[in-house]
Amino acid sequence: MSTRRCRQWLGLVAVIVMSAMIAACSSLSGGGAKAGELPFLEDKELREKIGRECQAYFDSKGFMGMAVAVVKDGKIAYFNYGRTHKDGKPIDENTLFEIASLTKTFTGTILADLSLQGIVSLDTPVKEFFPGCKAGEYDGVEMTLKHLATHSSALPRDPVVLNPMNPFADFSREDMNEFMRLNALRWAPGTRYEYSNLGMGVLGECLSDAYGKPYDAMLKELICDKLGMSSTTVFPDETLQARKAGPHLASGTPGKEWDFDALQAAGGIKSTARDMIRFLAANLGAMSVDERLSAAMALAQQTHFSGGRTVGLGWHIGNTTYGKIYDHNGLVGGYCSTTIFCPQSKAGVVVLANNAGSVDTLASAIMSILSSR
């Protein structure tokens, strides 16, 4: 049997096994909702408690705008504050934000999906996509796609930044090819955790090469179309752009949006609270999606690296008093974001703001509230 056929066969087996796991989880939780709109969270006391937490945080930070969405037992609620600009529209669940590094959780899921299809393996060497790749190995240890997805590739955090106001705009695939050809790794891949936007961008380019389509097309076909996430994209059209919240600095003055070329997979996605809570609900098994995507999400949630940080494919994994959590945060010019979900408490939260800063503390506080019920 050829190597490619072997990968496809193993991928099919993995799909069957992991889909069975997801089905079992859905059965235990009462089953997932269909891919229509998710039901509303009726618990008024819980909504009011979360609302008070959000309002106090929003007021204390002086953000221009903030959108919060929660899911609990397959039911959702939205909490919206402020405006898209000083004289702009009120924020709602369909306001478009830069989600920044939350993009990496989608990239990890795409890797899982393509591995289940047999298009790539988690252990596919990165040097297959970069001829003459000096950065592809260290002392005989090859860098793999899994290393990129778990921030254990030994690549630096970022490429050389020439314009700090828009640091990734001018880093092209040609620049990436040159970087991988000329630069040596600093230690063996898979031996330590070091967060890397560059590494996740390299992963996105590898997956795009393997799939034969640009990153944005993979995102749409493999995830967004299946989950009804119609407002999630790297390149919003005029209609979506009209719904976008403008970037602001911590001071509240208007900021500048960042652009992404070869590093789209590290932080280039734009989305809404409505779409993002669907992604979390699907990861919790609270939505009925096709078996392969369910299996890909399950694979992305497995521990693939532990050392300094415990990491899945794109997700950071932690332990709390209420159970294991999966999380990621993000920050690009004039936006910040955080998402967390906990399978044991069947709960998740996403917070999106159009200010530089952090919403990590708020997201953690909301998860504690959700998980106490």
The pLDDT tens digits for 42-91 are: 999 999 999 999 999 999 999 999 999 999 999 999 999 999 999 999 99
Residue 30 has a CB neighbour count (10 Å cut-off) of 11
Res 93 pLDDT > 90: yes
Give the range among 105-114, 155-164, 275-284, 291-300 with minimum mean pLDDT.
155-164
Nearest in space to 294 (alpha carbons), one of 304, 281, 308, 303: 281
Res 16 pLDDT > 80: no
Which pLDDT band holds residue 162 (cuts at 50, 70, 90)? confident
- What length is written for the chain? 373
pLDDT at 188: 98
Q: Delimit the domains of the chain by residue range.
A: 3-371
Side chain identity at 116, as an amino acid letter?
A: L
Res 213 pLDDT > 60: yes
Q: Where do we find the tokens 């996509």?
A: 129
Nearest in space to 366 (alpha carbons), one of 67, 11, 8: 67
Tokens (6 digits) for 226: 């299946």
Answering whether pTM is above 0.75, one says: yes
pLDDT at 35: 59
Which pLDDT band holds residue 116 (cuts at 50, 70, 90)? very high
The pLDDT tens digits for 325-369 are: 999 999 999 999 999 999 999 999 999 999 999 999 999 999 999
Q: Where do we find the tokens 């369909």?
A: 94
Residue 164 CA: distances (Å) to CA of 170, 354, 362? 11, 19, 28
The CATH class of the 3-371 domain is alpha beta
pLDDT at 28: 32
> If you average pLDDT over residues 214-237, what whole number do you get?
98
